[in-house]
Amino acid sequence: MLIVRSVLFYIVYALSLIVHSTYCVIFGWMLPLKHRFPLIVQWNRFAVWWVGVCCGVRYEIQGREKVPAHPFIVLSNHQSPWETVFLYYEFRPLCAVLKRELLRIPFFGWALALLAPIAIDRSKRRSARDSMMQQGHDRLAKGISILVFPEGTRGEPGQDRKYYAGGAEMAIATGASIVPVAHNAGVYWPAHKLVKIPGTIKVFIGDPIASAGRDPRELTEQVKQWVNAQLATIQN
């Protein structure tokens, strides 16, 4: 039954994405950048709702009251497609640091490009870093927060993975505060697997962390330790 529900989920997920992305590509470019977010992320809200209804994957969130009123940089662990969908509308307006190839995906990538993501070429590390810093300044100045996954790619729940310091470096360079996020979405929406597991994803939002005068590696390690501590409370 879980397989049937998961297949049904993906059918509606894919069809709705194609329809909504097409609509956004046709009409979204006419809107100023900040006004595109409410339109485009309506699909994100639908997808999170749909996986809850169809597959029983729901969520609880703690710490919304800690989110600053000014633009910031989100550093989150990365386990699942779920958080890439959820965080975009939870912290809107929000753009993500991502690999450039994602913008070439039909429909999804085209609509995503309308949200001015910070797209980088990972094969060119030095130029990617410089581009990331420059674009980070631009987005924050426009009132748009930035999402960074310090692990770079998705990992398995419970896996101890390296956190890269690029997000912390951007925060220090721009003077932005960091909002840490921890979740266990990979338990219920596993990456690269068909079946969704019914249950409740736990999402934790931490206190904003000032970046001024900090060492990027130390700051990154602080975020990693905080994330691991929150995940440990779920496991216990």
Give me the sign of the Cα torsion angle 187, 190, 194, 196: positive
The H-or-E segment that residue 2 falls in is helix 2-27
Q: What mean pLDDT value characterizes the chain?
A: 93
Tens of pLDDT along 13-31?
999 999 999 999 999 989 9
* 50 has a pLDDT exceeding 60: yes
Is 2-235 a CATH 3.40.1130 domain? Answer: yes
Question: Mean pLDDT across the stretch 91-108?
Answer: 90
pLDDT tens for residues 161-203?
999 999 999 999 999 999 999 999 999 999 989 999 999 999 9
Task: Supply 64's token pair.
Answer: 């919304």
Asked whether the whole model's pTM tops 0.85, one would answer yes
The DSSP string of 126-146 is: HHHHHHHHHHHHHHHHTT-EE
What is the rounded CA–CA span in Å between residue 213 and residue 69?
Answer: 22
User: And the tokens for 187?
Assistant: 């338990």
With beta carbons less than 8 A apart as the criterion, state whether 152 and 166 touch: no
State phi, psi for 185 to the nearest 5 degrees.
Answer: -60, -30
Residue appearing with tokens 């710490």:
63
Q: Which of these ranges, 100-104, 178-182, 210-214, has the smallest mean pLDDT?
A: 100-104
Instruction: Write down the residue that tokens 């079946």 correspond to.
Output: 195
DSSP 8-class letter at 100: G
Phi, psi of 147 (to 5 degrees): -105, 125
Confidence bin at 127 (pLDDT 50/70/90):
confident
Lookup: tokens for 47: 């997808």
